[in-house]
Amino acid sequence: MDDSYLYIKSLHLIFIVTWFAGLFYIVRLFVYQIEAFQKPSPEKEILGDQLKIMASRLWNIITWPSMILAVFFGIWLLFINSALMYLPWMQVKLVFVVLLIFYQFKCHQIFKQLQNDVVKHSSNYMRLFNEVPTLILFAVVFLVIMKNTVNWIYGTVGIFVFAIMLMMGFKIYKRIREK
């Protein structure tokens, strides 16, 4: 493996980290925007305007460029080492990447709605929606690290168990917040 491959791989990982950071934080900003929308004036307008600016900067300066660069460097790595495409773990990983890209597009739709003061979801829905990239992150990291040693049945069951634990944690947190 020559140094150029390692540089490309490093850049791919860096942009994956910043992409996930953007996805995690943008949905938190959605939660805050939705909650600000329910406040009385002038608090509603002051918070709303500031949160719109923060969301716009995060989305357009960090998250979108990070996604584009992570995918670009990932494709470049696959071009250099095309044998990876035939490995089962890579094929499954790419399915998760496609799901993450769909998630990004759904976030973009919500971003545009909130930028136009259109609220279609509750803050609780957004908190739950924010767990999707967490599940994808866990799945991809375990796939990449463990590769062929993963028993696909146990891995799939493990992801579902983790999702159920997240849901239970979400419900407990919701009850605590409502008290």
- 39-42 CB contacts, 8 Å cutoff, 24+ apart: none
Mean pLDDT on 80-108: 93
93 is in an annotated binding site: yes
108 is in an annotated binding site: no
Return the ∠ at Cα 7 (arms to 76 and 60), rounded to 5°: 65
The residue length of the chain stands at 179
Residue 150 has pLDDT above 70, yes or no: no
Mean pLDDT on 1-7: 87
- CA–CA distances in Å: residue 128 to residues 124, 134, 177: 6, 11, 14
The rounded distance, in Å, linking the Cα atoms of 43 and 54 is 16
Q: What is the pLDDT of residues 21-79, one digit of tens each?
A: 999 999 999 999 999 999 998 988 999 999 999 999 999 999 999 999 999 999 999 99
The rounded distance, in Å, linking the Cα atoms of 42 and 178 is 25
**pTM of the predicted structure, to 2 decimals:** 0.85
Dihedral of the alpha carbons of 106, 110, 111, 113, in degrees to the nearest 10: 140
**Percentage of the chain with pLDDT > 70?**
95
- CA–CA distances in Å: residue 51 to residues 8, 56, 108, 114: 34, 8, 15, 10
